[in-house]
Amino acid sequence: MKDQALPSPIESPLLAQHAGEAARHGFFTRAGGVSEGIYRGLNVGLGSRDDRENVHENRARVARWFSVAPERLATVHQVHSPDVVVVDDTYDGARPAADAMVSATPGVVLGVLTADCGPILFCDPHARVVGAAHAGWKGALYGVLENTVAAMEKLGARRERILASLGPSIGRRNYEVGPEFVERFLGVDRAYERYFTPSGKAGHAMFDLPALTTQRLADAGVTAENLDICTYPDEDRFFSYRRTTHRQEPDYGRQISAIMIRG
């Protein structure tokens, strides 16, 4: 019989202090799941090659932590886009291609999956509007954060009241990129040079994705926090696409970060 213990996610101090009465949230780790092998723990990735029954059980455990049925856990088919969808009472389990969700509906959990990219959870506790975004370099660069804020405003939020927390993601010390990557960013804004430092390898640099993410959030007018937890070196707690790639492993798991308006 599988262990039925619920996972124990990481909390955002910002959201816990200022939005705890309006919303429940968690940045989940690998702990508390049933998957095995390279997927060991709470792998919720439907796109992984993990045993599908285990993935569904892991997702059910996340839903139980929020005290909702599994079908009330909403996720999308993430494609590194700037696209946002609205989730409401009509949610039917579909996973449209998008990288962020917003909701003003109590009891529906918004979840984004990551394995180095940045998970950002949003809440306007006064308007009782929440959001969740998956922001890798492409999403952060091309507008998924700003689009999430704009979508929340359409549901009644005000950006000056929105709180945003960046959860576990790959940090600058472990994110080496090539010259083409750097040039892509500088082609958008030369000021982005500040997010790159020399790596010691000719033409390569270390990229500070969390700094870019939090600055874009601040520029959008929201109050932002970075939990400053790097996924790459902490194998016990986090899946990491880059770590898997360096080891030449065949696949990798995904952790989930989620938020729900309280009923």
Instruction: Check pLDDT > 90 for residue 6.
Output: no
In the chain, domain spans: 13-171+208-261
Local confidence band at 5 (pLDDT 50, 70, 90 cut-offs): confident
- Rounded mean pLDDT of the chain? 97
Q: Tell me: the pLDDT tens digits for 176-213? A: 999 999 999 999 999 999 999 999 999 899 999 999 99
Q: What is the pLDDT of residues 105-145, one digit of tens each?
A: 999 999 999 999 999 999 999 999 999 999 999 999 999 99
Query: 226, 228, 180: which is closest to 205 by C-alpha?
Result: 180
Q: How confident is the model at residue 3 (pLDDT cuts 50, 70, 90)?
A: low
Report, at the CATH architecture level, how domain 13-171+208-261 is classified.
4-Layer Sandwich (3.60)
Region 242-246: what's the mean pLDDT?
97
> Model's pTM, two decimal places?
0.97
Task: Read off the pLDDT of residues 43-84 as tens digits, 9 standing for 90 and up.
Answer: 999 999 999 999 999 999 999 999 999 999 999 999 999 999
Return the pLDDT at 1: 41
